[in-house]
């Protein structure tokens, strides 16, 4: 059930979405750009040595920490020069979706669910810059594999985030890893803890590493936790002085 | 009795006192380049703590000496959308020894 504040935010936000906006086109642009990047980079990998493949797990871990850091220090903090990201996330996404009502209603709500397509373009450019240096100091194959991995993780991120906000979880609740991040991210949408807890959106490894998780268990337990709530910390942050519009109506 | 209110939304992280925008008091100290925030300890919450105390106490020197403790005790735990009365600020100041 939504609080009056969340309902008011949704009612205010939805008419602001352009009538030309298409949720399906939004998803298609991201998917086509991501898959095309992976296909192009993969087609340039020629007879890689086993050492070239080491970039894949290294990039996987690096991206996990990057995803955590951007979420924790940019998306939830007003930083000069990067305010647009904070506004879109803390001031919009987290007002539209809360742990009281975490689901989108239809594809037009994708506007506030997925990143704009230029975010993927930016990440590909950042990854390509790193790949250029990697090509100079390591190998061309490792460079192409780096961009493949980062683009793949980006698509993974968007797909898992969609899986967190889709209403029907009859299938997702049984898919390992995806069920873990769904519970993890819905807990993050609790406005009492959103500024500092559960910042991963793919696999909660960096949250475990840096102690910003709502769970009290080991790394493998974090990754395969699923919907299990037995390990949720009892001493999670509580908030005070809630305004009337932020409180659920008493039954 | 004054009523301070804050909430996050498309207009920003907005704070009012009796319905009017709260002065961030950059003239006293510029702690945040990006205005107010809350629910954590940091620059935006520190600016909010200073602004709240300066308005409530009407004593800039006391506000400057107490804002950091007040930020950690109160502002860092404020909800996404919150309300604070003058009486509640007085109660919090007694608790932190201000
Ligand atoms: Zn979300
Ligand atoms: Zn968030």
Average pLDDT (B4-30) is 97
For position A250, what pLDDT does the model report?
A: 63
Q: How far is CA B12 from CA A126, A173, B47, B80, in A?
A: 29, 35, 15, 12
- Give yes or no for a contact between A124 and A105, defined as CB atoms under 8 angstroms apart: no
Beta bridge partners of B81: B7
What stretch of H or E contains B4?
strand B3-9
Q: Which ligand has its closest atom nearest to the C-alpha of A161?
A: 1
Q: Residue A247's pLDDT is what?
A: 84
A244 CB within 8 Å of a chain B CB: yes
Quick one: pLDDT at residue A1? Answer: 86
User: Considering only CB atoms, which chain B residues are within 8 Å of A238?
Assistant: 77
Question: Which residues in chain B have their CB less than 8 angstroms from residue A244's CB?
Answer: 83
Q: What is the pLDDT of residue B6?
A: 98
End-to-end CA distance of chain B: 19
Contact at CB, A78 and B82, closer than 8 angstroms: no
Extents of the domains making up chain A = 22-250
Which tokens go with A117? 């397509």
pTM to 2 decimals? Answer: 0.95
pLDDT score recorded for residue B24: 97
- Tens of pLDDT along chain A (251 residues) come to 899 999 999 999 999 999 999 999 999 999 999 999 999 999 999 999 999 999 999 999 999 999 999 999 999 999 999 999 999 999 999 999 999 999 999 999 999 999 998 999 999 999 999 999 999 999 999 999 999 999 999 999 999 999 999 999 999 999 999 999 999 999 999 999 999 999 999 999 999 999 999 999 999 999 999 999 999 999 999 999 999 888 887 65
CA distance A134 to A119: 22
Rounded Cα–Cα distance for residues A60 and A201 (Å)? 13
Express as a percent the part of chain B with pLDDT over 70.
99
Element (H, E) at A157: helix A140-165
User: Order of strands across the sheet with B20-21?
Assistant: B20-21, B12-17, B3-9, B81-85
Instruction: Report CB contact under 8 Å: B42, A77.
Output: yes
The Cα of B61 is separated from the nearest Cα of chain A by a number of Å equal to: 26
Size of interface A-B (CB pairs under 8 A): 83
Please state whether B25 falls in left (phi above 0), alpha (psi between -120 and 50) or beta: left
In contact, A243 and B83? CB cutoff 8 Å? yes
In this prediction, residue A251 carries a pLDDT of 52
The pLDDT of residue B98 is above 90: no
The complex's ipTM?
A: 0.95
Whether A9 has its CB under 8 Å from any CB of chain B: the answer is yes
In whole angstroms, give the CA distance from residue A169 to residue B53. Answer: 47
Which chain B residues are within 8 Å of A92, Cβ to Cβ? 10
d(CA A13, CA A104): 13
The pLDDT value recorded for residue A199 is 98
Q: How far is the CA of A161 from the centre of ligand 2 (A)?
A: 11
Pairwise CB contact (< 8 Å): A95 & B9: yes
User: Tell me, what's the pLDDT at A248?
Assistant: 81
- So what's the pLDDT on residue A245? 87
Instruction: Record the tokens describing residue A243, joined without a space.
Output: 């305004």
Strand, coil or helix: A245: helix
Q: pLDDT, tens digit, for every residue of B43-59? A: 999 999 999 999 999 99
């Amino acid at each position: 059930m939504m609080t009056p504040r969340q309902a008011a935010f949704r009612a205010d936000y939805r008419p602001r979405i352009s009538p030309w906006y298409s949720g399906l086109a939004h998803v298609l642009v991201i998917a086509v750009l991501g898959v095309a990047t992976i296909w192009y980079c993969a087609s340039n990998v020629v007879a890689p040595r086993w050492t070239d493949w080491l970039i894949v797990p290294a990039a996987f871990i690096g991206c996990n920490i990057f995803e955590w850091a951007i979420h924790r220090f940019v998306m939830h903090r007003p930083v000069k020069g990067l305010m647009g990201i904070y506004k879109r996330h803390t001031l919009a996404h987290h007002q539209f979706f809360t742990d009281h009502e975490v689901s989108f209603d239809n594809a037009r709500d994708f506007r506030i669910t997925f990143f704009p397509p230029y975010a993927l373009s930016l990440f590909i450019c950042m990854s390509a810059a790193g790949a250029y240096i990697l090509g100079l100091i390591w190998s061309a194959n490792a460079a192409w594999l780096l961009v493949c991995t980062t683009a793949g993780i980006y698509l993974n991120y968007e797909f898992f985030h969609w899986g967190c906000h889709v209403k029907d979880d009859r299938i997702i609740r049984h898919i390992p890893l995806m069920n873990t991040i769904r519970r993890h991210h819905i807990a993050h949408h609790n406005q009492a803890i959103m500024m500092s807890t559960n910042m991963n959106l793919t696999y909660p490894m960096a949250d475990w590493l840096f102690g910003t998780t709502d769970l009290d268990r080991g790394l493998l337990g974090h990754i395969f936790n699923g919907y299990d709530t037995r390990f949720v910390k009892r001493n999670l942050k509580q908030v005070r002085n809630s305004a009337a519009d932020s409180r659920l109506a008493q039954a | 009795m004054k009523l301070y209110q804050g909430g996050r939304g498309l207009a920003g992280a907005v704070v009012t006192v009796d319905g009017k925008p709260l002065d961030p008091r950059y003239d006293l100290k510029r702690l945040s380049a990006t205005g107010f925030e809350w629910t954590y300890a940091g620059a935006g919450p520190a600016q909010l703590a200073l602004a709240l105390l300066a308005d409530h106490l009407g004593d800039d020197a006391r506000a400057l000496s107490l804002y950091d403790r007040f930020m950690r005790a109160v502002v860092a735990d404020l909800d996404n959308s919150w309300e604070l009365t003058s009486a509640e600020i007085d109660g919090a100041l007694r608790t932190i020894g201000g």
